[in-house]
Amino acid sequence: MSTGREGPEAERWLADTRASYDADATSYADEVRTLLERLPPERDVMALFAERVRAAGGGPVADVGCGPGRITAHLTSLGVDAFGIDLSPRMIEVARHEHPGLRFEVGSMTQLGLADGSLAALIAWYSIIHVPDDAIGAVLAGFRRVLRPGGLLLLGFHVGDASPPEPQEDGEKWPESYVRRRRPSQVAAWLDEAGFTVEAHPTLTSAARTLGVLLARR
């Protein structure tokens, strides 16, 4: 688990992630715009999450690492009071343009500018994939802080054993070439350490990839 201390290494991965998605925001939005339409298993997960949020009385739901806002918009269509947060200012510009009626703001999952216990739920869909192992603990602690007691957390991440040791400087662009793949058991252990109770942990295989999904409760 992370101590939560910020330092040069933390600043480097955050800066690299921000710069990469700023540079690629428009093409990334084009690439993922219809992704949910093509992935029924992921839509099913979103539907279950939205149903659980509504059944618990509703309330604000943060889509952390929202990118161009596709998940925020989909959850809103399912009756969830969702808003988006992303590290990349350019991604937020794209999200606001594509979904003008929704709320989007620039922010980092390492330092969420939200009040304690202010959220009914939080989703981080493919957005912990660039977080180093030694920063995960602080990120999950931040998620727990902003959730109300009993609040839900939904994580989606790439499943695997190996992650590249260093960001690549040539070939494929940095975000896509430096995806951290983890075993659901490891992520579940981190959640347990952070004080969450894991309620479901399916894996989904689609589009030639395996996605780990963990639904947990504060």
What is the CATH number for 124? Answer: 3.40.50.150
- pLDDT value of position 124: 97
Tens digit of each residue's pLDDT, the chain (218 residues): 333 444 555 678 888 889 889 888 888 888 888 888 888 888 999 999 999 999 999 999 999 999 999 999 999 999 999 999 999 999 999 999 999 999 999 999 999 999 999 999 999 999 999 898 999 999 999 999 999 999 999 999 988 876 554 544 544 444 444 678 899 999 999 999 999 999 987 777 665 568 889 999 99
Segments forming the whole domain that contains residue 125: 8-217
CA-CA distance, 63 to 84, in Å (whole number)?
5
Instruction: Say how far apart CA 156 and CA 173 lie, in whole Å.
Output: 22
Q: Does residue 3 lie in a domain region?
A: no
pTM of the model: 0.87
41 alpha carbon, distance to own chain's centre: 17
20 in any annotated domain: yes
Pairing mode, if any, of strands 147-158 and 119-125? parallel
What pLDDT, on a 0 to 100 scale, did the predictor assign at position 102? 97
Q: Is residue 1 part of a domain?
A: no
Whether 190 maps to a domain, the answer reads: yes
Residue 196: per-residue pLDDT = 98
pLDDT value of residue 208: 56
Q: Which amino acid, residue 154? A: L
Amino acid at 86: D
* pLDDT of amino acid 206: 60
Residue 61 lies inside a defined structural domain of this protein: yes
Measured in degrees and rounded to the nearest 5, phi and psi for residue 199 equal -110, -25
Residue 2 lies in a domain: no
d(CA 19, CA 176): 13
Model pLDDT, residue 164: 54
The predicted structure's pLDDT at residue 162: 63
Closest CA to 70 of 130, 131, 14, 28: 28
